[in-house]
Structure 1
Amino acid sequence: MRLAFATEAAPGRPNEDFAGATPNAAVLLDGVGTPVGSDAGCSHGVPWFVQALGSALLAGMSRDEDTSLTEVLADGIKAVASLHDSTCDLTHPGSPSATVVMLRRTASAVEWLVLADSVLLLDVVGTDEPMIICDEREALVGEPYRKAMDALAAGTPEHVAAHRAYVETLRDHRNRDGGFWVAAVDPLAADQALTGSVPADTVKAAALLSDGASRLVDRFALASWREALGLLALTGPDELIKLVREAETSDLDGARWPRGKAFDDATAMFWKFF
């Protein structure tokens, strides 16, 4: 069994992703950043939030294999909220939040949980294509609101303002029925996560990708999911992130690939079981 990961912040910004692992568990979080000019209601910031929640999740996953991943996430959200509910406005719609991917390997099963738009790939014995698990509710909710932002050149003041408006609009749909769900302050969000398991002896490898890393496939279409897994197996997560950065640099104004951020934090984990 071998696990490797790499993470790289977008240029000029603190890294708002988190990646961590124990011998039998892995966690990846992608923090939801606060655009310039927007308020968050929290004095700690997104990097603090993902570090606190990621650490809590790893500890919870390792303590008791009989505790479901949903319960671990709910407990983690509750614990982190208690760390700053006396100093910060947790009712603010911009309170720090994150996507979540959790993976745990027991003697009999590989268990997974995915909340929001980070990606989990499972390379399963006897299948040509990997199993792809991604919660697409945020993308579906956001699609009607992207047009103004995507029509503008990335990096311009107009695009920055449109991106801020887009993010603030999506806050109205966050963690509510008919919208999308992320890990923030409400432990009930854990009940909305995608969960499942597969027999342990059928999973050859797994990849956990923040959307800054998965964009090589799902936004730039420069590789298939199978090719991304092959790249991770042969050359490792650093090479995948390098290819993402090369693509981003080649399209700084977003003309080829319209997107909210020209560069994004990118994190990739690759766990080879056999």
Structure 2
Amino acid sequence: MRVTFATQAVPGRPNEDFVGATPDAIVLLDGAGTPPGSESGCVHGVTWYARSLGSTLLAGLAQDGKPLTEILAEGIKAVASLHDFVCDLTHPGSPSATVVMLRRTADTLDFLVLADSVLILDVIGTAEPMVVCDDREAQVGAAHRTAMDALASGSPGHVSAHRAYVETLRDHRNRDGGFWVAAVDPLAAEQALTGTVPAARVRAAALLSDGASRLVDRFRLATWRQTLDLLDDSGPEELIRRVREAERSDPDGSRWPRGKAHDDATAVSCHI
């Protein structure tokens, strides 16, 4: 596989995304940030969590034949053990992350997607790509974001409403009827979307954190097919540049209401 990627943090903040690759595997995580004024129970923070889990998963992918859900469950458990006696892992705001894993074996591509980062597979012979995204958080959140979306991004009211929104969603995290992310409970791995496709049928793949996928799924400024073409022609940096351009054109969220005016953005382009 030939892999290129770009990642860009929100200015003035550490990057809470993680991306890593080996010759046969790719891992992308998007850490769930803690809003100002909200507690997490963890002294390490979201960036530490995303990097610790991401590097652990990347090492686990070297174990040929092990199911991706098992690798993820073991990774969640291993990282929890790193801060179990230092941090309050029972806190509802304990650091968490989305996960996308892609692994090539001799003849197949195995994938796993947990939470709202996106995997796009450019399948040969089909007009539209295969898009894998776990949208359960968005479905849950839709019922709780009206007050936040009505306020201008960056205003004191919006900051407060965003914090309340995030804290409300914590009550639905990693439980039946809610949504699932990598955090403390290894059983969350069983809730991931998984699949296997013949490697010979896939021309290319893209992995996007939701800060990069918003060009399509929130801003509606491109299709998934156009995104694959953009990555192929101009690379991940151009995709992120276009996301930032759109964000700057709507600083108060009046056109595209959103929790974060800017978000960490990571894009990976992979040619199989």
CA shift, 1:129, in A, is 0.5
Number of the residue aligned with 2:162: 163
Q: 1:115-194 maps to which residues of 2 (within 5 A)? A: 115-194=114-193
CA shift, 1:10, in A, is 1.0
2: distance between equivalents of 1:221 and 1:155? Answer: 22
1:34 aligns with 2:41: no
Structure 2: gaps of 5 or more residues = none
2: distance between equivalents of 1:170 and 1:121? Answer: 26
CA shift, 1:231, in A, is 0.3
1:189-236 Cα deviation digits (max 9, x unpaired): 000000001001111000000000000000000100000000000110
Secondary structure of the residue aligned to 1:128 is coil
CA shift, 1:2, in A, is 1.4
2: distance between equivalents of 1:39 and 1:47? Answer: 15
Secondary structure of the residue aligned to 1:144 is coil
2: distance between equivalents of 1:214 and 1:11? Answer: 19
- The residue type paired with residue 101 of structure 2 is M
CA shift, 1:239, in A, is 0.3
Number of the residue aligned with 1:218: 217
2: distance between equivalents of 1:65 and 1:193? Answer: 20
- The residue type paired with residue 85 of structure 1 is D
2: distance between equivalents of 1:87 and 1:197? Answer: 38
1:124-156 Cα deviation digits (max 9, x unpaired): 011000000000100000101010000000000
Number of the residue aligned with 1:267: 266
CA shift, 1:12, in A, is 1.6
1:197 aligns with 2:196: yes
Number of the residue aligned with 2:227: 228
Structure 1: gaps of 5 or more residues = none
TM-score after normalising by structure 1 = 0.99
1: distance between equivalents of 2:85 and 2:203? Answer: 45
Number of the residue aligned with 2:6: 6
Number of the residue aligned with 2:112: 113
- The residue type paired with residue 212 of structure 2 is A
Number of the residue aligned with 2:54: 54
Secondary structure of the residue aligned to 2:61 is helix
CA shift, 1:245, in A, is 0.3
Q: 1:49-128 maps to which residues of 2 (within 5 A)? A: 49-62=49-62, 64-128=63-127
CA shift, 1:11, in A, is 1.7
Number of the residue aligned with 1:24: 24
- The residue type paired with residue 194 of structure 2 is T
CA shift, 1:108, in A, is 1.3
2: distance between equivalents of 1:239 and 1:163? Answer: 29
2: distance between equivalents of 1:59 and 1:129? Answer: 33
Q: Identity percentage over the alignment?
A: 73
Secondary structure of the residue aligned to 1:123 is strand
- The residue type paired with residue 117 of structure 2 is S
CA RMSD after TM alignment: 0.5
- Aligned residue pairs total 272
TM-score after normalising by structure 2 = 0.99
2: distance between equivalents of 1:2 and 1:40? Answer: 38
- The residue type paired with residue 55 of structure 1 is S
